[in-house]
């Protein structure tokens, strides 16, 4: 096993009653005190933030990313666990995974029930995360929750309050945890990791716009006028909208805005099937299809591409690299 560094960022796993609701206020040592340690594991705690995850900003997430890299600069560290609020956990985990080039595992976890709750899920989730970080290699960034192991890429929060809160709706389960053992069921595929981005003074604005019946280009155009350098269009079906939105996408791309196309449907890939405003036309207008990645993670991919390069063509290339899952299998046998 060995030495695991726990990076504490807040969330429900660090939350206590505040008089009208719960909010994160416990530090990492208090969170760690709730869970037993797997045999042979020692823990070092880094207190990074104490916030509810809906309040996280790009600056928070880039600070977390750099902290992970700084911790892994120590060769004696065996792995990392990040305790995180569940609302935006899928975004932060995917950001770290996009830039993760180390064989040591980074595991994100959290809880649906706050600290001190009878039969709360935080202690077990934390134990499982420590066990996974200490006993796996070459899997990139993982999410452990409710006895299940998920790849960061593609995994989203699928339950608002139920304890088994995370899944990749488009893929089979990656692994499971039980009786003190981590069992991997398949090998995740990951593209070549991106370089660690600089910390910008002002991060680029990346907005999300969802299509619906009666949807028009007003919100997409408003995002462009507000200074968005990237937009995620959340289409219907396999990634569809209207001819009017196609023209708005074309105009945004012409102004240098990086546009990604996902779908509001829970599972399955964006697919170029329909015209008259469908994915066929949106992709022709310059939108980059995101495969099975949903809105939150598609936005992170756009953000990473914008941070990687100031050159328009290169940004689109980096985005396609970030979205690809056709790279080599980066898993130790």
Question: Cα 278–325–194 angle (5° rounding)?
Answer: 110
Instruction: Spell out the SS3 assignment of 310-329.
Output: CCHHHHHHHHHHHHCCCCCC
Instruction: Quickly tell me which residue has 């991060």 as its tokens.
Output: 203
Q: Is 63 a catalytic residue?
A: no
Tokens of 121: 């899920």
CA-wise closest residue to 104 among 127, 75, 83 = 75
CA-wise closest residue to 245 among 283, 300, 301 = 283
Q: Is 86 a catalytic residue?
A: yes
63: how many CB neighbours lie within 10 A of its CB? 16
DSSP 58: H
**Candidate list 34, 58, 86, 136, residue with the active-site label:** 86
**Candidate list 12, 83, 262, 263, residue with the active-site label:** 12
Give the torsion sign (CA, 113, 114, 118, 121): positive
Burial of 254 (C-beta count, 10 Å sphere; 0-12/13-18/19+): exposed
**Active site members:** 12, 86
């Amino acid at each position: 096993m060995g030495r695991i560094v726990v990076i504490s960022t807040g969330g429900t796993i660090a939350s206590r009653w505040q008089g009208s609701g719960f909010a994160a206020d416990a530090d990492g040592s208090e969170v760690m005190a709730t869970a037993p340690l797997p045999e042979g594991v020692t823990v070092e705690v880094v207190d990074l933030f104490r916030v509810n995850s809906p309040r996280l900003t790009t600056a928070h997430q880039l600070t977390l990313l750099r902290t992970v890299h700084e911790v892994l600069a120590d060769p004696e560290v065996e792995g990392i666990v990040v305790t995180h609020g569940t609302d935006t956990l899928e975004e932060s985990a995917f950001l770290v995974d996009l830039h993760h080039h180390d064989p040591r595992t980074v595991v994100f976890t959290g809880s649906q029930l706050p600290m001190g709750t009878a039969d709360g899920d935080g202690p077990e989730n934390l134990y499982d995360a420590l066990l996974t970080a200490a006993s796996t290699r070459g899997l990139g960034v993982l999410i452990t929750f409710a006895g299940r192991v998920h790849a960061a890429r593609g995994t989203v929060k699928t339950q608002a309050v139920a304890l088994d809160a995370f899944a990749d709706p488009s893929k089979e389960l990656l692994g499971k945890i039980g009786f003190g053992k981590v069992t991997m069921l398949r090998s995740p595929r990951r593209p070549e990791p991106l370089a660690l981005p600089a910390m910008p003074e002002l991060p680029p604005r990346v907005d999300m716009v969802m299509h619906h019946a009666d949807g028009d280009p007003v919100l997409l155009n408003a995002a462009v006028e507000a200074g968005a350098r990237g937009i995620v269009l959340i289409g219907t079906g396999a990634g569809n909208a209207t001819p009017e939105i196609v023209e708005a996408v074309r105009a945004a791309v012409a102004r240098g805005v990086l546009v990604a196309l996902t779908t509001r449907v829970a599972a399955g890939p964006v697919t170029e099937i329909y015209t008259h405003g469908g994915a066929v036309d949106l992709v022709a207008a310059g939108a980059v299809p995101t495969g099975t990645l949903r809105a939150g993670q598609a936005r992170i991919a756009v953000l990473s591409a914008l941070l990687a390069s100031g050159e328009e063509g290169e940004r689109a290339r980096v985005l396609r690299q970030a979205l690809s899952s056709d790279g080599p299998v980066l898993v130790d046998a």
